Copies of this chain bind each other. A is one copy, B any other.
């Protein structure tokens, strides 16, 4: 059950490895290398490096299986995604986040269920939402807006 708190961050390339292991639940390096060396054109050595780094930073755990290891996630996929997205958003101007969401949602394929969930969360939010969100890019003694 993956749930550890990750110290380091997972890089873009490492993210590809995690997606394979998250989806399969667990995988040996042969499988990971087989899939990734086709998806991208990465050499086996490259993928081995990424796996090694993920183990070292605590994102993947290992179970010995004879000569080789079986890798499994130590962090949950949804939690990693949530954190990555929130971190990205928090870096942006608070005032502009809403429009960024609109754009992202327009660009993303979502299931009917996801859309209904989103609508209901948004409707609930509406009752307590502020009239406006102000720009937080400047210290208090400067004024301005995006």
Contacts and interface: CB of A to CB of B under 8 A. Distances in A.
A100 B78 CA distance: 7
A93 B22 contact: yes
A145 to B, nearest CB: 7
B99 A114 contact: yes
Contact of A139 (B12, B35, B106, B123): B35
A7 interface: no
Contacts of A41: none
Interface residues on A, range: 35 or more
Main secondary structure of the interface of A (DSSP, over half): helix
A118 B110 CA distance: 14
B24 A144 contact: yes
B135 A23 contact: yes
Contact of A20 (B19, B82, B107, B138): B138
